[in-house]
Amino acid sequence: MLIEVLGSSAGWPIPRLGCDCPQCTSPDPRDRRLRSSLLLDRRVLVDAGPDAYAQLLRAGAVPEQVVLTHDHHDHMLGLHVLSKLGRIPLHCTKECEKGLRMIFPRLDFRVMHLTPGVPAELGEGLRVQAFDVDHSQTTRTMGLRFTDAGGHTLAYMPDLGALPGSKLARDADVAIVDGSTRTRPVRGHIPMEEIAGAAKRLRAGRLLFTHIGHRTGTHAELSEWLPAGADVAYDGLQIEL
């Protein structure tokens, strides 16, 4: 499985317009973050935030399938431009579809409902299993476990309001988790500190933070602060499993 991090910011991109904090003025290109999404094997898009089109142009890839964790704006507003690709499959829960249709009544995709635990085929031996995670009272949110033909696994959980309870979150080769806040809980997001502290329970081969929030720190600072075995994702990062 080839994992490409297309974007790694929380709900708003970094740098923030007009902000002169160290994170926003950092010369390190890894501190320029667009909304969180992944591209798997150059053809499966995971979450489609408002930056999706620019991110795909930059990656030089045309998605054949889309999978969504939930229907918050930072994960779905990019569907508008992707609808011009011609009714490609869109995998999401029934509740997510309902939320999407409030913004996109036409929703020009072949919608396929995710059922927790039930594998959905994404072609070429890649499959996804969704599992519920705590994040929002009103928006059902899934973590996603991807398994490729060779048995390599990725657990993607960009928005976590609590440590994931599902066994599908554990024992992945790579777990990519919520980095919205460093030590202070904010609504719907537990701190990186807490997730890193529970890394043993997740038992991931590699733990990576994405959905990086404003004022969490520069990439270099965060990488240094995190314990061994945990790292920070950045836009353009590629991992081959």
Among 133, 34, 37, 39, CA closest to 93: 133
Binding status of residue 145 toward Zn ion by CB under 5 A: no
Sequence-separated contacts (24+) of 17-25 with Cβ below 8 Å: 19/214, 21/214, 21/215, 22/217, 22/218, 23/214, 23/215, 23/216, 23/217, 23/218, 24/214
Whether omega before 27 lies within 30 degrees of 0, making that bond cis, reads no
Binding status of residue 21 toward Zn ion by CB under 5 A: yes
Map residues 63-102 to x or -, x wherever contact with Zn ion holds by CB under 5 A.
---------x-x----------------------------
Decide whether 14 or 126 has the Cβ nearer to Zn ion: 14
Q: How many CB atoms lie within 10 A of CB 83?
A: 16
Minimum distance of Zn ion from residue 164's CB (angstroms): 14
Total site size for Zn ion, rule CB under 5 A: 7
Minimum distance of Zn ion from residue 188's CB (angstroms): 6
CA 123/CA 130 separation, integer angstroms: 16
Of 148, 159, 173, 235, the one binding Zn ion by CB under 5 A: 159
Binding status of residue 186 toward Zn ion by CB under 5 A: no
Decide whether 77 or 241 has the Cβ nearer to Zn ion: 77
Q: Where along the sequence are the contacts to Zn ion (CB under 5 A)?
A: 16, 19, 21, 24, 72, 74, 159
